[in-house]
Amino acid sequence: MKAALAFIAAASALALLPAGAAPKPKWEVGIGGFGTYSPAYWGSDESDFGGFPVIYVTYRGDGFSILSEGLFDVNADDTDRFSFGLSLDGNGGVDSEDRFFLGDIETVIEAGPKLTYALFANGESRLEVSVAARIAYEFGEDFQGYVVEPSIAYLTTLSPTTRLGFSVTPKFGFDDYNDLYYSTPGFDAESGYIGTAVAINFVNDLSDRLRISAEGKVILLGGAENEDSPLVQEDTNYSFRIGFTYSIWQSSTMTDG
């Protein structure tokens, strides 16, 4: 379940963004499959391999799109200065044995707005800053605080079909969010800085239907507000994802926007 939430993170591509200039189908339905390796939670000394299938729908409208560039794209060719969209993330749950038998954490879903501004965008490369604010809900337990993530990213085009992205994203937890992951009977977690993810993303479109993508991420927890918690067992975590998507159906109606 935890690995499947990588798809939810990808759904942050839901945004008020125009599609590219080249005509594309107005509607698409696609499938895919991905393999992941990720920590049980940031700071955990337990990491897991996982795999999951995905089904997605693309809609390219006038001024409003859903996954206009498909899943896990690197939008290096986007020339818009401002964009506003939906940021989604989450964790599929943590077993009690991975946190000193202090109880399971059920699936956590995070959702909220994301604002992006391009410092530079020439149609081939893009330097952008963004900030996302998400409310967190744990299944069966309701509201669990909120997360704020500022980010800076550089996206570039290596070839007409290949793009590369680099990003640095600090993460801050507030209200009960940090308490959920880092409090113990002898340690009360505080709101504030959790850690920073440094990521590289690769995308290659093998055709107008088939895409492969990969991500590598280093998670740095030095200086975190709760680095003295017994549940912060590592100063550095690593996360990886690799997979593909394939557009199985495309509408005959085309759109430039």
β strands within the chain, DSSP E: 24-25, 27-39, 47-60, 65-66, 82-91, 108-121, 125-138, 142-159, 162-174, 192-205, 210-220, 236-250, 254-255
**The pair of three-digit structure tokens given for residue 11, joined into one six-digit string:** 């759904």
Rounded CA separation 3/241 (Å): 9
Give the alpha-carbon dihedral of 61, 67, 73, 78, to 10 degrees: 30
Rounded CA separation 238/39 (Å): 7
Q: From the CA atom positions of the chain, what is the Rg in Å?
A: 19
Predicted TM-score (pTM) of the model is 0.84
List the chain pLDDT tens, one digit each, 257 residues.
444 444 444 444 444 444 345 678 899 999 999 999 999 999 999 999 988 899 998 888 776 677 777 888 998 998 989 988 778 888 888 999 889 899 999 999 999 989 999 999 999 999 999 999 999 999 888 899 999 999 999 999 999 999 999 999 999 999 999 999 999 999 999 999 999 999 999 999 999 899 999 999 999 999 999 999 999 999 999 999 999 999 999 899 888 75
**At residue 41, what is the residue type?**
Y
Q: Which residues have CB under 8 Å from 162's CB, separation 6+?
A: 202, 203, 204, 205
Query: Where do the domains of the chain lie, and which CATH numbers do they carry?
Result: 5-255 (2.40.128)
237 φ, ψ (degrees, to nearest 5): -120, 160
